[in-house]
Structure 1
Amino acid sequence: MRICFYGTDEEITRLCERPVLALLGPLRSQPVLAFELFNIRVTTDPYGSLFRLCADLTEVEGSNRD
């Protein structure tokens, strides 16, 4: 899955420092899924002072979830 985040320099730096990203399901009964970011590209947003991070996500399997 490919994702893009927009944020300030500080927000994008914090996101890049984390090896695993946890995504919460929309309903309380759905599990939290853990994803690893790879193929990360950071570019400057041409319309403002924000940065754009594009990356691929791969789900972390079974026992690697913490």
Structure 2
Amino acid sequence: MALVHPHTPADVGYGTVTLCATRATPDGGLQWAHLPVDRQLWAVEALRDGFRERARLEVGDEAAPVEVIE
């Protein structure tokens, strides 16, 4: 069974999107990091990769998948 980190509307603040980076831990668990991003900044395509990289840094894995929660 794949590990899943569920999200709720409470994960997204007013006027933001939330980036969620996840990685598997050595003990078989899941670690995640949430990064709220202002919607107006997220709308700028040229900035998105930088936000994704920051979310990956927060979780400690430069190759971690990043989900956008709106």
> Shorter-chain TM-score: which interval?
under 0.3
Query: Which has a greater percent of helix?
Result: 2
Query: Which has a greater percent of strand?
Result: 1
Which has the greater radius of gyration?
Answer: 1
TM-score normalized by the length of structure 1: 0.26
